Amino acid sequence: MDSRGALCVGIDPHPALLAGWELNDDAAGLERFSLTVLDAVGEHAAALKPQVALYERHGSAGLAVLEKLLAACADAGVLSIADAKRGDIGSTMAAYADAWLRDGSALAADAVTLSPYLGFESLRPALDLAAGTGRGVFVLALTSNPEGASVQHAGGGAGRSVAAGIAAAAAAENGTGTECTADGGLGSVGLVVGATVGTALTDLGIDLAATRAPLLAPGLGAQGATAADLAVTFGAAYPNVLATSSRGILRAGPDPQKLREAALQTGRELAAAG
């Protein structure tokens, strides 16, 4: 983010986007789409975030394309965030961690998104493996969809909301983990907080700046949030925000120059809003 800015470009090869790019809704179309995005915007984004579901819907052929994309990102020096939203009991979580965070795994990414709704501590195998391999995780706290509030705003014990409890747990990880930077910079346990959450952070009394968490913020573009909204929503934590946009940028394709310009323009808007 220091060198490339605050934009993460999501790679979401929806059937409608593939059609708009005149690509088939099959593994070959998926591969062309994915590698075009990497080539066009990889060096202009802090990270790329493939949406795993859109590869899974093609079965093993789709996962093979995802493996190829993740390897190509690594070869090109572009950070990858696998948006897999994994979460399960600890013993199964260890297998998810192994898939997404282990050196040498075919699906290894630089970070993976995790769902803490089986309990934050159930994520322990992924938290530990990420710390051990120099990777990161982004834990869902306040998601960008309106339905999320029914769970995340609810009371989570200790007089705080579920989301506030997750933010506190991430803060504890970032304050004590071996990945904690000496200069008080960001830790490796990030949070997902939607760009669309409006006043929720204030309403729920969540101080994100204190968590030292990188903040993955989906909702920019297609879901309606703007860079200016992000700056207002995140306030003092805005410098820690990695804003992610998928359809808002991908619709500019398939021309790589237009894709690049869409990413650069979004990056400029994010920088100006800070």
Name which of 102 and 247 has its Cβ closer to ligand LLZGTKA7: 247
- Binding piece for ligand LLZGTKA7, criterion CB under 6 A, among 24-32, 119-127, 199-207, 218-226: 218-226
Looking at residue 125, its amino acid is: P
Please name the residue ranges forming H helices in 102-141: 124-133
* Residues contacting 243, CB < 8 A, separation 6+: 6, 7, 8, 195, 217, 220, 227, 230, 266, 270
From candidates 18, 37, 38, 51, binder to ligand LLZGTKA7 by CB under 6 A: 51
Residue from 80, 152, 245, 266 touching ligand LLZGTKA7 (CB under 6 A): that is: 245
Say how many residues touch ligand LLZGTKA7, by CB under 6 A: 18
Name the residue among 3, 5, 2, 16 with its Cα closest to residue 244. Answer: 5
Separation CA 188–CA 138 (nearest Å): 8
Q: Is 190 in the site for ligand LLZGTKA7 (CB under 6 A)?
A: no
Q: Is 10 in the site for ligand LLZGTKA7 (CB under 6 A)?
A: yes
Residue 152 contacts ligand LLZGTKA7 per CB under 6 A: no
Instruction: Report H helices in 24-161.
Output: 27-41, 53-56, 59-76, 90-101, 124-133, 149-152
DSSP lists the bridge partners of residue 138 as 113, 190
Exactly one of 177, 223, 231, 264 binds ligand LLZGTKA7 (CB under 6 A); that residue is: 223
CB contact at 8 A, 75 and 39: no
Question: Could you say whether residue 153 binds ligand LLZGTKA7 (CB under 6 A)?
Answer: no
Is 85 annotated in the active site? Answer: yes
Q: Is 29 in the site for ligand LLZGTKA7 (CB under 6 A)?
A: no
Choosing from 5, 42, 125, 248, the residue that interacts with ligand LLZGTKA7 (CB under 6 A) is 248
Spell out the residues 6+ positions from residue 204 whose beta carbon is closer than 8 angstroms to its own: 142, 153, 160, 161, 163, 164
Smallest gap from Cβ 192 to ligand LLZGTKA7, in A, equals 5
**Shortest distance (Å) from residue 181 CB to ligand LLZGTKA7:** 26
Residue 192, interface with ligand LLZGTKA7 (CB under 6 A)? yes
User: Residue 2: which residues within 8 A CB-CB, separation 6 or more?
Assistant: none
Work out whether 87 is an interface residue with ligand LLZGTKA7 (CB under 6 A): no
Catalytic residue among 49, 68, 85, 258: 85
Q: Decide: is 12 part of the binding site for ligand LLZGTKA7 (CB under 6 A).
A: yes
Query: Is 194 one of the binding residues for ligand LLZGTKA7 (CB under 6 A)?
Result: yes
Find out whether 111 and 131 touch, Cβ atoms under 8 Å.
no
The residues, any chain, with a CB within 8 Å of residue 169's CB and separated by 6 or more, are 116, 120, 121, 139
User: Which residues are marked as active site?
Assistant: 85
